[in-house]
Every structure is written in C-alpha cells, then in structure tokens.
Chain A
Amino acid sequence: MTSLTLKRLSLFALPLAAVAGLNSAAQAQEWTPSSSIEFVAPANPGGGWDTLVRTMSRVIQQEGLADESFAAINVPGGGGAVAWAQVARDEGNPHKLFATSPPMILVPLAGASRYDHTDFTPVARINTDYSIILVAADSDYQDLDDLLTALKEDPSLSVGGGSAPGSMDHIAIAGLASAAGIEASAVNYIPFSGGGDAMTNLMGGHIEAVVGGAGEAVGQLGEGSQLRALGVSSEERLGGGLSEVPTYQEQGFDYTFDIWRGVMGAPNMPEEAVAYYEDLFAEMLETDAWREASDQLGWIDAYQNSEEFGAFLDQQQDQFSDVLNELGLLRQ
C-alpha cells in the first residue's frame, strides 16, 4: 500500500523547487532533493516505461533510499514525444526525471520528435532486455541459419513484430539480416499492435517468425509450448528459461542488439544532482527488493553512469541511423 501514501507533487511548487535546487547546487557539493521527484513515464500505465518507473519508485521507497519520494507520472502520447516536449521546457530542473529506452533514439531519427537524446541529461542506464527470434514449435526452421537462408531465397516470408516499421523490433531484425548479408529493406516485416499480438499470429500460423523482446517471450517458451526460440541478440547466453537459446554470435552472425532502459533528466541538470541520482540508482540495484522484482520481470541489470550512458547513447544513435538509412527510413 506504499504508493497510496506517496505525496503528490504540486505543480505550483515546481518553480520554487527549481530555484531551491539551483541554490543548493551552488552551495553544497552534497546535493539532496528538496521536494519530491517527478518521475515521468512517457506512456500510459502498464507499458515498459511505466513498469520501470513504478518499480524503481517502489523499491526506492521500500528500502528508504531517498528522503523525498519519487512520484510516478504518466505523460502518454506520440511514442514519448509528448513527454519529451514537456520535460525539455523544464531546463535545469533537478527534480524531473523520465524513463527512456531505444525509442528515445529511434523516434527522433524517424522525424517524429523535435527533441532528441542530446537535448536531455543522461542520468544512468539501469538494465537491458534483448531481442529474440521465435518460430512456431512445428516449424521447419531449426536454427537461425535455416531461417535466414530461407529469407534470402524468398524475401516475401513474413516476420512479425510488435511495433511500427523503423522502431525497435524492425531495427532488430533488419540489423540481423544486414549482418547475414541480406538487404535490410528486403525483409518483409509485419507490424502488429504489440508483441503478444504478433505471437498469437505466429501460433496461428499466419506468419513465419516473430522478432520481439526476450523478457516478453520467456513465458511462451519451455516444455509444451507452441513456440520455439532460434536465437537471442545478447553477447552471452541468458539465464533462466532462456539458457538453452543460443546467441546470434554463437551461430555465426556477428550482431547484438540491446533493448536498454535508463533514466534521463531535464536539460542541463546540475552536475551535483546527476551525481546524487547516479549513486542512488547504483545503490538501488544492490537491494534485494530490486533483485526480486527484476528477476520476475526478466530484466538484466546493465548499469552505466551518466557519462558512460551519454557516450552509449551517441553510439546507439550512429548504429540506428545506419540501419534506418539502409532501410530508407532516415528522416534527419
């Protein structure tokens, strides 16, 4: 019942908070928040960003890691663009954070957001998920090579994913195809309204394969299931229910793909505040409550501090723009 007692943040207090934050930043090395932190999930309740925001807020609260509470706020719209536009106006506010993941790079590259990752302050990367390729249990494709060879011969074979062309799932399969020597734009990628929708269509035999998030797929694998995994995009094999799924690299395709999740803050957030959050999140990752929650959600910790995360984001942008360029979908 902890979340019920969360003190809700007053919008009226925001300007005050910003001033207070700047003052304390100027005065002291040790910055601590002076009001509750607005933690934005740029989507509706229930999605990946929302789960990250709520889980982090809950663990921090439960373990008493911060003096002020993290208030989860949903700002849905435009695949994140609405929330980004809102945060971008809050320059220098040390009490405003938001959850982020590859769409932070992809949506701006597709020309659907005025702001990109360089407009915000990277705070920390938290964890990661990987991309996975699934086929029906009775499919003829026994390994990744079978599927990719078939794709090469017959580009009309349909590969479903849970998001629009040019977004995560499409990039994941297009990059893999490219690494296998297939023209990325030749892959017949079918966008569904979500990973679950794509998997149902795979079970029904309406499409040949599905590319999706490993965490989402793990429940579908194992004994008696109707689906089979051909490979994951991680560097090393994953644990748990996915320990028997070989990586792409193991099968001779030099390609990895991270579905990372992290936290960013308002533009030009004071360094002291960034340092405070870096430490806070690093500490949070060590708690049992976090361990338990992320095991259940299939998350793999992949912490990076602000600087590493910033560099990582730049490198992701390069990688994604190459793939998008190859697909002809680059708009910037």
Chain B
Amino acid sequence: MDAFNNLMYGFGIALEPINIAYVFGGVFAGTIIGMLPGLGPISALALMIPITFAMEPSSGLILMAGVYYGAIFGGSTSSILLNAPGVAGTVATSFDGYPMAKKGLAGKALAIAAYSSFVGGTVSVIFLMLIAPLLSKVAVSFGPSEYFALMVLGLTAVVSLSDKSLVKGLIAAVVGVIISIVGIDMQTGTERFTFDSVQLLDGIDFLVVALGIFALAEVFYMLLRGGGGKEAPRNAIGSLKLTRSEVKEIAGPVGRSSVLGFFTGVLPGAGATIGSFLGYSMEKRIAKDGDTFGQGNIKGVAAPEAANNAACTGSFVPLLTLGVPGSGTTAVLLGALLVMGVNPGPMMLEQRPDVFWGVVASMYIGNIFLLVLNLPLIPLIAKILDLPRPLLLSLILIFCMIGVYGMSFSIFDLLLLLGFGLVGLGMRLFGFPAAPLILALILGNIMEESLRRALQISGGDWMTFIDKPISLGLLVIALLSLTLPLFKKRLKKKVAPDVAN
C-alpha cells in the first residue's frame, strides 16, 4: 500500500489550487506548442526556465512536465490534418492519420489520437509510479552494444514499411541513413558530406526532412492533381464517435504500444520519436490487415499515439531516479530543476518526495485535462479542412516554413526544406515509400554511433554484440522478424497456386 499512500501524498500536492492551475496552464500551452510547427518542447521549455525560476520546485516541474506531454499530445493534430508534424514524436501518426483525414475521417482520427494518447499517458504514469526505482536498472543496462542491437531491430521494420517494392523501400532506407550521417562525426570529429558548408556541420535536422518529404511533397502532389479549387468540397470532419468494434480493434494496439512506448522512453536516448515508430511497425506486423496500414487504418493512428505519450512519461524515469537526462527535452528539465535547487537522482525520492510524487500525481490530472480539453476542440480545429483548397495549401506552406525557420533561424534550412519537398514529390511519383526513409533517418546515425562506440570499448572485438545477453536477444528477435514473414510468404505462395488450380 506504500505506493498508494505516496500517491495520495502526491495528489495532496497536485490538487493544491495553484498546482491545478499550473497543470492546466502547462498542458494547454503544451497542446498549442505541439500543434504549432517550429517550436518543439525543447525550446519551449528552455524559454520557460526564467518563468519557473521563482516557483516552488514541485510546481515548476508540474508546469514544465505538462508542457512536455501536452506538446506530444497536441502534435498529432497537425500530423493528421495537414500531414505536417508539429513535433518529431508525431511523425508516425501522419502515416495513417492523414489518409484518414483525406477520406473524411479527420474527426475520428483525432479522437482516436486523443483517446490513445490518454491511455498511453495514463498507463505509463501507473508504471512510473509502481516501478520507477526498479526501472533505473533497466535504463543503465543499455550500453552501446545494446543500443546497436535495438537500432538493428528497429530498422528491420523497413521491410514491413516498404509496401509494394522491397527494393524501393530499401533504397529509401539507405538514403535515410545517408542523410542521417551528414555533418560532424561524433566519434572522430571528422566532417562528412558537408560540402564545406558551415550550415551542414550539425547535420540535417529531422523535422526539416519530415516536413519536406511529407507536408511539402503533399502540397506539390495536390498541385499536380489540380489544386485549383475545382474539387468538390469534402465532408471534412466526419463523426468523432468510435463504434464498439473499433474500440475493440484498437484496444490491443493501444495496450501493447503503451507498454512498448514506456520502456522505449525509459531508455536514455530513445524517446518519443523512436517509441512511436516502434509501436507503429510492431502493430503493422502483428495486424491481420497489416497491408492496409498507411492507407488510413485506425490502428496505425492508435499505436504511435499511445506509444509516444507513454515514451514521454517513460523518459522521466532516468531523469527522476538517476538524475541523468535521456533526451534533449529532459536535459532542459534537469537544468531547470538544478536552477530551482533540486538535485534529481537516487536520493530524490527521499529528499524531495514532494517533487517526485507531486509530478506523478499531476500527470494523472494532466492527462484527464488533455482529454477533456482536446475532445471538444476537435470539431473546431478540424474545421481547418473546410478552408478553400488554395488557401489551405498556402497555409500549409507557411506552416512548414515557420516550422523550420523558428527551429533553426536558418535560411539555408528553408532551402533544404524545399529540396526535400521536391525529393518527396519525386519519391511519390516514382513509388518510393517515405516511411522507411524517415525511420532510417532517425535510427541510422544512432546505430552507427553505438556500433562504433561499442567496438571502441571492446577494442574492435565484434563478439561484444553476442556476448551481452540483451544485445544478443534483440539481434535474435531482429533476425526472426526478418525471416518469419519470408517463410510465411513462401508458404502462402505455395498454397495459393494449389488453390488456383
């Protein structure tokens, strides 16, 4: 009953009127930040540090945590409606969310996103509360070898994400890795493929590529197909209601992805983006109708949304129990806590239980707020799709530009965005899938870095990946996930002609 008492203590703090106000303010601001392109949770939090400076530490963290998970919650909106992800963690949501919106099911997609986010957020808070101290061991058990294996496992999803032509999917993935390793090589400090441009030293930002290849390419594609406003007005929003069978259908994916997302979040360096991709590709493989992922399958919205919110909460585990940030966002949170005079770490649970339990309790409240706040807003926000086509197209363009410029303040990145938009258009026209490219872009350089780090530690001995049980296990799963579908296909092929005959 210990956790229960602690939680009650936490609710005592989180339910103070001022803290309720902070939770509400935090998740509200977060939702808006998430919807707006260009202002990811990292910069938003860094800019908030001066505001939280004078606050009680528990209130400060409650506010900032609210902004963080609120942003992940709200980020799905622009992914679904405009194919323009507002934050990196919601890129995977656009794979099926945007096709749903195109079919006139925007309302349903947004509602599924909201419910799944809520469940993902809540399930992961329960985990955070019950087993956070134990999980710190899981977090540190992942060294470079284990990360390499995890990235390999993640990359095997390329196969299932390349829908029609495996060769084209693999080409897209190779290009994704090629983009990911541009810039200064962390392991040696060597410049690679920067063409002597200072702008490329830090590599190419993930969101520039994602916005270009998804949103901008989509605009170009619509222009080709006649964006002249001649198209009949769409019944844009559709119903918000889920049927009972739909609820049943997404229950499994949401549950699995919440757990998967949470554990991904616990691992330092993984986080919401990777979590959402892993959730998406796992469900695509498991689902009987996996082929329809990417064409507006509701499970394809539910899985990444549950996973990214769960991962967001999970990333508080290394922060609060070890005092080490697992991601850029939690690094800023750590900085803020230090400024407020709190040292997160193993001793924090004893020294500042008010901060830990207060934040945990506030997350329950925050998730409820988010759901209550977002559901009534959906019909309102989805109205954006009722705008005349020409206006909508230009607004999406402006959205992307602000998104990129507000992030890096770089004209060069705007031109890169244009370039990736044209590349994205070409990929669409010639049937190259975009998802493998994006996946490889996220995982590629982490894979390279951890491979080289692991070998540097082992003195060049490749056995390091097999000697460690976790890394061996992950590699075996990766191998199985590659070979099993092939066997299945072969079996099917053998059976199919017989039937035909």
- Which residues on B sit within 8 Å (CB–CB) of A85? 198
B353 to chain A, nearest CB (A): 15
Q: Mark A276-314, 1 if CB is under 8 A from B, else 0.
A: 000000000000000001001110000000000000000
| A243 adjacent to chain B (CB < 8 Å) | no
Whether A191 pairs with B186 at a CB distance below 8 angstroms is yes
Given the interface contacts A164-B189, A165-B189, A222-B347, does A82 sit within 8 Å of B201 by beta carbon? yes
Whether A200 pairs with B457 at a CB distance below 8 angstroms is no
| B140 adjacent to chain A (CB < 8 Å) | yes
Q: Mark A65-99, 1 if CB is under 8 A from B, else 0.
A: 00000000011111101100100000000000000
A224 to B144, CA, bound (A): 26
Whether B140 pairs with A74 at a CB distance below 8 angstroms is no
Whether A297 pairs with B338 at a CB distance below 8 angstroms is yes
| B235 adjacent to chain A (CB < 8 Å) | no
| A272 adjacent to chain B (CB < 8 Å) | no
A203 to B322, CA, bound (A): 9
A-B contact count (CB 8 A): 147
Whether B408 pairs with A203 at a CB distance below 8 angstroms is no
| B477 adjacent to chain A (CB < 8 Å) | no
| B239 adjacent to chain A (CB < 8 Å) | no
- Which residues on A sit within 8 Å (CB–CB) of B49? 54
A183 to chain B, nearest CB (A): 17
| A110 adjacent to chain B (CB < 8 Å) | yes
Whether B201 pairs with A78 at a CB distance below 8 angstroms is yes
Whether A224 pairs with B338 at a CB distance below 8 angstroms is no
| B50 adjacent to chain A (CB < 8 Å) | yes
Q: Which of A51, A110, A197, A201 contacts B335 (CB 8 A)?
A: A51
| A64 adjacent to chain B (CB < 8 Å) | no
Q: Mark A154-188, 1 if CB is under 8 A from B, else 0.
A: 00101000001111000000000000000000001
A166 to B187, CA, bound (A): 10
Which of B247-255, B291-299, B325-333 forms contacts with chain A?
B325-333
- Which residues on A sit within 8 Å (CB–CB) of B325? 194, 196
A262 to chain B, nearest CB (A): 20
Given the interface contacts A46-B42, A158-B456, A166-B189, does A200 sit within 8 Å of B201 by beta carbon? no
Whether B189 pairs with A1 at a CB distance below 8 angstroms is no
Q: Mark B355-388, 1 if CB is under 8 A from A, else 0.
A: 0000000000000000000000000000000000
Whether B50 pairs with A3 at a CB distance below 8 angstroms is yes
| A207 adjacent to chain B (CB < 8 Å) | yes
Q: Mark A181-221, 1 if CB is under 8 A from B, else 0.
A: 00000001011111011011101111100000000001110
A223 to B380, CA, bound (A): 53
Whether A193 pairs with B347 at a CB distance below 8 angstroms is no
| A44 adjacent to chain B (CB < 8 Å) | yes
Whether B457 pairs with A158 at a CB distance below 8 angstroms is yes
Whether A204 pairs with B186 at a CB distance below 8 angstroms is no
- Which residues on A sit within 8 Å (CB–CB) of B187? 164-165, 191
| A112 adjacent to chain B (CB < 8 Å) | yes
| B152 adjacent to chain A (CB < 8 Å) | no
A243 to B186, CA, bound (A): 33
A235 to B453, CA, bound (A): 33
A51 to B409, CA, bound (A): 19
Whether B143 pairs with A110 at a CB distance below 8 angstroms is no
Whether A2 pairs with B50 at a CB distance below 8 angstroms is yes
Interface size class of A (residues with CB under 8 A): 35 or more
Q: Which of A1, A112, A219, A226 contacts B343 (CB 8 A)?
A: A219
- Which residues on A sit within 8 Å (CB–CB) of B140? 200-201, 203-205
Q: Mark A1-37, 1 if CB is under 8 A from B, else 0.
A: 1110000000000000000000000000000000000
- Which residues on B sit within 8 Å (CB–CB) of A329? 189
Q: Which of B47, B143, B341 contacts A201 (CB 8 A)?
A: B143
B406 to chain A, nearest CB (A): 11
| A102 adjacent to chain B (CB < 8 Å) | no
Whether A1 pairs with B408 at a CB distance below 8 angstroms is no
A204 to B344, CA, bound (A): 18
Whether B449 pairs with A193 at a CB distance below 8 angstroms is yes
- Which residues on B sit within 8 Å (CB–CB) of A54? 49-50
Q: Which of A78, A166, A219 contacts B345 (CB 8 A)?
A: A219
Residue among A79, A190, A200 facing the most chain B CB atoms (10 A cut-off)? A200
| B188 adjacent to chain A (CB < 8 Å) | yes
Residue among B189, B332, B340, B457 facing the most chain A CB atoms (10 A cut-off)? B189
Given the interface contacts A78-B202, A165-B189, does A190 sit within 8 Å of B457 by beta carbon? yes
Docked complex: B229-284 residues within 8 A CB-CB of A: 268-269
Q: Mark B50-67, 1 if CB is under 8 A from A, else 0.
A: 110100000000000000
- Which residues on B sit within 8 Å (CB–CB) of A204? 140-143
A320 to B313, CA, bound (A): 42
| B324 adjacent to chain A (CB < 8 Å) | yes
Q: Which of B43, B50, B51, B339 contacts A44 (CB 8 A)?
A: B43
- Which residues on B sit within 8 Å (CB–CB) of A110? 189
B189 (CB) vs chain A CBs: closest residue: A164
| B396 adjacent to chain A (CB < 8 Å) | no
- Which residues on B sit within 8 Å (CB–CB) of A50? 46
A293 to B322, CA, bound (A): 23
Docked complex: B30-47 residues within 8 A CB-CB of A: 42-43, 45-47
A319 to chain B, nearest CB (A): 19
Whether B335 pairs with A46 at a CB distance below 8 angstroms is yes
- Which residues on A sit within 8 Å (CB–CB) of B201? 77-79, 81-82, 112
A56 to B68, CA, bound (A): 26
| A108 adjacent to chain B (CB < 8 Å) | no
Whether A296 pairs with B341 at a CB distance below 8 angstroms is yes
8 A-B interface contacts by CB (under 8 A): A46-B328, A75-B409, A76-B202, A190-B453, A190-B456, A192-B453, A206-B143, A206-B145
Q: A3-B47, A164-B184, A205-B140 are in contact. List 13 more A-B contacts (CB 8 A).
A: A2-B50, A45-B47, A54-B50, A74-B409, A76-B408, A77-B198, A112-B189, A164-B188, A165-B187, A190-B456, A206-B144, A220-B345, A223-B347
Interface residues of B (CB under 8 A from A): 42-43, 45-47, 49-51, 53, 139-145, 184-189, 191, 198-199, 201-202, 268-269, 318, 322-326, 328, 331-332, 334-335, 338-341, 343-347, 408-410, 449, 453, 456-457, 459
